[in-house]
Amino acid sequence: MTSRGKFITFEGIDGAGKSTHIRYCADLIAASGVELVSTREPGGTPLGEKLRELILHEAMHLETEALLVFASRREHIAQLIEPALARGAWVISDRFTDASFAYQGGGRGLELVKIDTLANWVHPELSPDLTILFDVPLDVARARLDATRELDRFEQEKADFFLAARNEYLRRAAAEPARFRVIDSSQSIDAIRVELDAIVAALLAGAA
Ligand SMILES: Nc1ncnc2c1ncn2[C@@H]1O[C@H](COP(=O)(O)OP(=O)(O)O)[C@@H](O)[C@H]1O
Ligand SMILES: Cc1cn([C@H]2C[C@H](O)[C@@H](COP(=O)(O)OP(=O)(O)O)O2)c(=O)[nH]c1=O
């Protein structure tokens, strides 16, 4: 019988370097011969990508925002994540439910108990096997964003928002040390890759 694949999520405030390092980790895992599905949230399915457009660009009530990220997630799990894990593929997702706690909870101030309720409804059984948190001071993240791209509705938020999001990520990492690996993302890309090499090697060894 095929063993279930591993579910790995990447988290961090905008500009922490997730996208940069996901590609690197995806290549390492795929090179080992494991089938790998690389995806993102909000999004990951045709409907989820439409919801992503709304979430990132339309002003809306805070609870509408939370419901939409979980609606996108519900579809993502049903259409892509669960089928992939069940057939033995590994799934890497650029963000998952920790981002809802950090952004809707920490950043926007939605009661965490409401996010817990949605998480328990949408994926009572599913939790990442590993979450890599790219942790970076706000000014470093902001400088990287300003240098590179047009900012969406979240990226235009003020420092307080990102400080609260970062703190919520760190709080969650401290509460679940077995699931999280926290990377100091103010280091150089090469230094971070050395840490990622060790994390991925340990994961692949565990699955062998
Ligand atoms: N460790 C790093 N040192 C310097 N620049 C970085 C580092 N990590 C990422 N960058 C750059 O910062 C920008 C934002 O990175 P990105 O991976 O898109 O962040 P995220 O996906 O977390 O928002 C990109 O231009 C990227 O090349
Ligand atoms: C998954 C998720 C993302 N978000 C936000 C965080 C990000 O600012 C935004 C999009 O994430 P991301 O894909 O990291 O943005 P980019 O492609 O610009 O790097 O969505 C939430 O607010 N809640 C969530 O549950």
Q: Which amino acid is at 146?
A: D
Nearest CA owner, ligand 2 atom 2: 99
- Residue 15 alpha carbon to ligand 1 centre in Å: 6
Fold observed for domain 7-207: Rossmann fold (3.40.50)
Name the pTM for this structure: 0.96
- What token pair was written down for 12? 């961090």
Q: If the chain, 208 residues long, is cut into consecutive pieces of 10 residues, what is the mean pLDDT of each piece? A: 91 95 96 96 98 97 98 98 98 98 98 98 98 96 86 88 97 98 98 98 86
- Per-residue pLDDT of 137-174, as tens digits, reads 999 999 998 888 788 898 888 899 999 999 999 999 99
Burial 150-174 (b: 16+ CB within 10 A, else e): eeeebbebeeebbebbbebbbebbe
Return the ligand number nearest the Cα of 192: 1
Instruction: Answer yes or no: is the C-beta of 20 below 6 A from any ligand 1 atom.
Output: yes
CB 103 within 8 A of CB 164: no
| Domain ranges, ordered by start, for the chain | 7-207
ipTM, 2 dp: 0.96
Binding residue positions for ATP: 12-19
Return the ligand number nearest the Cα of 69: 2
Q: Give one DSSP letter per residue of 66-103, joined into a string.
A: HHHHHHHHHHHIIIIIHHHHHTT-EEEEE--HHHIIII
Q: Taking Cα atoms as reference points, which of 111, 120, 97, 109 lies closest to residue 165?
A: 109
Instruction: Answer yes or no: is the C-beta of 16 below 6 A from any ligand 1 atom.
Output: yes
CB 84 within 8 A of CB 55: no
DSSP assignment letter at 3:
P
- Residue 11 alpha carbon to ligand 2 centre in Å: 9
Which atom of ligand 2 is nearest to 152's Cα? Answer: 18
